[in-house]
Amino acid sequence: AVNGSRLWQSLMDMAQIGATPKGGVCRLALTDLDKQSRDLFARWCEEAGCTISVDKMGNIFARRAGRDDSLPPIIMGSHLDSQPTGGKYDGVYGVLAGLEVVRSLNDMGYVTEAPVEVAVWTNEEGSRFAPAMVASGVFAGVFDLEYGLSRADLDGKTMGEELARIGYAGDQEVGGRKVGAYFEAHIEQGPILEAEGKTIGVVTDCQGQRWYEITFTGQEAHAGPTPMTRRKDALLGAARVVDAVNRIGLKYGPAACATVGLMQIHPNSRNVIPGRVFFTVDFRHPKDEILAAMDAELRAAVEEIASGIGLESDFKQIWYYAPIQFDADCVKAVRNGVERTGYSFRDIISGAGHDACYLSKVAPTGMVFIPCIDGISHNEIEETTPEWSTAGCEVLLHAVLERANA
């Protein structure tokens, strides 16, 4: 029903933009490379007969008209931005599987009742601009436009400035329109499907997240003549929090995840006791009350560690969303799709956040997962197979058709 090799070829073509030596991509949100990937996507969609629009958060919508074009659209989508050392499939797969659905409908000359759209959401990764999924969050009314456009990278450049610079500050209002349903296909980014030999994950839930920014300020001093007992070493404090974060993750495991992914040391000189350290914490759990318990333990640990060393601590939770349950009918549409195609499957909870999480606030939403090798993602070696890629796209097609013709 879909052309799997065309989809695979498109994935490989897109992966040329920002390709890295180890087979991955570096295509940070709103860089020149992000612009190139958007331009290529838009060209492909126009070639497939779609109409393109861009909203004020730079979200792109490629629309294939329905028989009754006044019906709310069924939207498929994901993102084209990547981590600094990201993979070829994270996000891109969901966008290009959506495009392949459109191309397949064209091949069949099939007209859906409702219009069908393929969406590219801006800055899903949250790597260059925190938090993640910020533009789908604005679409869903979780954040206001001003908040979205003012998110800044570590150099102080804002999303608003960078959208204008690359020519993707669109004129459409962000969100505020009715969406018939939203479906996102994605690689699992974890090890479960592959380990259990299942081809499709029917995503029922997504775990909740809390992100933090912590700055410890101590006192810069000379590493040589400054006695150990007179020091206020900000890196020592940050290091102890890294260990505490790991302990909290293990304590609330196996479902809990706890990570310090980013740290900036000041002045970062071999013979200077670090005077200031900025770092982030990422907590996840499928149960909101456990996430709250992890939060309480982190706050206590940070306070104890900082006061033990005599550091000033600036502690901010910068992002939170509670665990999400996807729409029962959309989950069923995905399951029906799997049953029609006959692939092996299991229900699964998403460990990563996805634009689908925010879309679920304003539209019935479902997700389709396919396996990735060794569960590795956010890594240049991220890999999946053409067979899995085709399977996920077929399931996506069926789910979309069920809703577009409902």
Ligand X SMILES: NC(=O)NCCC(=O)O
Pick out the residues of the known binding site. Answer: 79, 90, 125, 186, 378
The least distance separating ligand X from the CB of residue 328, rounded to whole angstroms, comes to 23
Residue (109 or 197) nearer to its own copies, CB: 197
Q: Crossing angle for the helix pair 386-404 and 4-14, nearest 10 degrees?
A: 110
CB proximity list for 403: less than 8 A, separation 6 or greater: 74, 114, 180, 181, 183, 330, 333, 364
21 part of the interface to its own copies, by CB under 8 A: no
| Encoded tokens for 186 | 């994605």
Find out whether 354 and 183 touch, Cβ atoms under 8 Å.
no
Among 78, 189, 384, 389, binds its own copies (CB under 8 A): 189
DSSP letter string, 285-325: ESSHHHHHHHHHHHHHHHHHHHHHHT-EEEEEEEEEE--EE
Residue (220 or 329) nearer to ligand X, CB: 220
336 part of the interface to its own copies, by CB under 8 A: no
Residues 83-102 that bind its own copies (CB under 8 A): 83-85
As a whole number of Å, the end-to-end CA separation of the chain is: 20
Among 34, 55, 81, 90, binds ligand X (CB under 6 A): 90
256 part of the interface to ligand X, by CB under 6 A: no
Residues of the binding site for Zn(2+): 79, 90, 125, 186, 378
Among 11, 28, 352, 362, binds ligand X (CB under 6 A): 352
| Encoded tokens for 228 | 């150990």
Which is nearest to 162 in space by CA: 81, 41, 94?
81
Among 13, 67, 108, 230, binds its own copies (CB under 8 A): 230
Among 18, 175, 353, 392, binds ligand X (CB under 6 A): 353
271 part of the interface to ligand X, by CB under 6 A: yes
Per-residue interface string for the shown chain with ligand X, residues 152-181, x marking contact by CB under 6 A: ------------------------------
Find out whether 395 and 186 touch, Cβ atoms under 8 Å.
no
Report the distance separating Cα 287 and Cα 284, nearest Å.
Answer: 9
Residues 341-400 that bind its own copies (CB under 8 A): 350-353, 375-380
Binding region for its own copies (CB under 8 A) out of 32-40, 41-49, 71-79, 235-243 = 235-243
Residue 258 to residues 26, 212, 282, 284, 355, Cα–Cα distance (Å): 24, 11, 6, 7, 21
Among 3, 36, 172, 259, binds its own copies (CB under 8 A): 259
Report the distance separating Cα 65 and Cα 68, nearest Å.
Answer: 8
Report the distance separating Cα 271 and Cα 273, nearest Å.
Answer: 7
Residue (21 or 109) nearer to its own copies, CB: 21
The least distance separating its own copies from the CB of residue 327, rounded to whole angstroms, comes to 21
Residue (49 or 131) nearer to its own copies, CB: 131
31 part of the interface to its own copies, by CB under 8 A: no
Give the angle 189-193-195 at the CA atoms, nearest 5°.
105
The least distance separating its own copies from the CB of residue 380, rounded to whole angstroms, comes to 8
132 part of the interface to ligand X, by CB under 6 A: yes
227 part of the interface to ligand X, by CB under 6 A: no
Answer with the entry of its own copies, ligand X, none that 267 interacts with (C-beta below 5 to 8 A by kind): its own copies
126 part of the interface to ligand X, by CB under 6 A: yes
Residue (44 or 211) nearer to its own copies, CB: 211
Residue 383 to residues 22, 115, 224, Cα–Cα distance (Å): 12, 32, 48
Supply φ then ψ for residue 169, to 5 degrees: -85, 90
The least distance separating its own copies from the CB of residue 254, rounded to whole angstroms, comes to 6
Among 21, 156, 197, 224, binds ligand X (CB under 6 A): 224
CB atoms inside a 10 Å sphere around CB 21 = 6
Catalog residues that contact ligand X under the rule CB under 6 A: 90, 124-126, 132, 189, 222-224, 271, 352-354
